[in-house]
């Protein structure tokens, strides 16, 4: 696996310029669910559009977007090291954080589900497979099961990491209606878990 150029946002920000090299979008909708794309824009193309569709008008949304003319892969910071302050604040305030990523596979259309929220993972796996999507469990290094993974830093201590193959993301881009169906499936499952994530039931960090 290729080593990231930067090990943290503080290191990245010393060499890259906000507005010119990257942008940050955040919409606080007061939701217990945060949908985020920490490798958006030209880093993992299409991941932020999918995250935005899932967030809709009621889930909170965060995206770190690579906007350089070239070399956007340099802006990739691993989920274990992603410490951009606005994102960390948003995640720490959320009950469940859902991180959308792009897998680089161009041959197959599939979704990989990881993270520590096993109940949501199982429910979403069932929902997506019933809708005809291929769902794979992640290989080592993509499982999102570390307590330090950005998706698991919400107040519940467990989140969800969704990786979407490049081929499927390309289809989402070409067929917006198809992308909306996927987003609605994810939203539907997440909405069922909102009552389980009441603030009084969470362990503050």
Residue 61 backbone phi and psi in degrees, to 5: -140, 135
Quick check: 39 and 102 in contact, CB under 8 A? Answer: yes
pLDDT score, position 74: 97
In 3D space, the residue among 112, 99, 116, 100 whose CA is nearest the CA of residue 150 turns out to be: 99
153: left (phi over 0), alpha (psi -120 to 50) or beta: alpha
pLDDT score, position 153: 97
Q: Distance between CA 102 and CA 28 in Å, rounded?
A: 23
Per-residue pLDDT tens digits of the chain, which is 205 residues long: 568 999 999 999 999 999 999 999 999 999 999 999 999 999 999 999 999 999 999 999 999 999 999 999 999 999 999 999 999 999 999 999 999 999 999 999 999 999 999 999 999 999 999 999 999 988 777 788 999 999 999 999 999 999 999 999 999 999 999 999 999 999 999 999 875 444 444 433 3
Instruction: Give pTM, 2 decimals.
Output: 0.92
pLDDT score, position 144: 87
Q: Distance between CA 27 and CA 2 in Å, rounded?
A: 31
pLDDT score, position 139: 77
pLDDT score, position 193: 83
What's the token pair of residue 51?
Answer: 């995250």
pLDDT score, position 45: 96
Q: What domains, with CATH codes, occur in the chain?
A: 9-192 (3.40.630.100)
Quick check: 104 and 159 in contact, CB under 8 A? Answer: no
Cα 115 to chain centroid distance, Å, stands at 11
First-last CA distance in the chain: 32
pLDDT score, position 195: 58
Quick check: 33 and 90 in contact, CB under 8 A? Answer: no
């Amino acid at each position: 696996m290729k080593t990231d150029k930067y090990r943290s946002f503080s290191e990245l920000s010393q060499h890259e310029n906000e507005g010119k090299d990257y942008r940050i979008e955040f919409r606080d909708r007061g939701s217990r669910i945060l949908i985020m794309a920490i490798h958006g824009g030209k880093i993992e193309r299409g991941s932020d559009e999918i995250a935005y569709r899932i967030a809709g008008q009621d889930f909170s949304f965060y995206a770190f977007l690579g906007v350089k003319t070239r070399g956007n892969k340099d802006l990739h910071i691993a989920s274990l090291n992603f410490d951009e302050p606005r994102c960390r604040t948003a995640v720490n305030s959320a009950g469940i954080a859902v991180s959308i990523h792009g897998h680089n596979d161009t041959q197959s259309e599939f979704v990989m589900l990881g993270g520590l929220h096993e109940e949501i993972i199982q429910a979403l796996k069932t929902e997506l497979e019933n809708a005809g999507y291929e769902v794979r469990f992640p290989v080592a290094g993509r499982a999102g099961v570390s307590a330090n993974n950005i998706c698991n830093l919400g107040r519940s201590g467990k989140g969800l990491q969704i990786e979407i193959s490049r081929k499927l993301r390309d289809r989402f881009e070409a067929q917006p209606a198809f992308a909306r169906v996927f987003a609605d499936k994810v939203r539907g499952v997440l909405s069922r878990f909102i009552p389980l994530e009441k603030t009084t039931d969470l362990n503050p960090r």
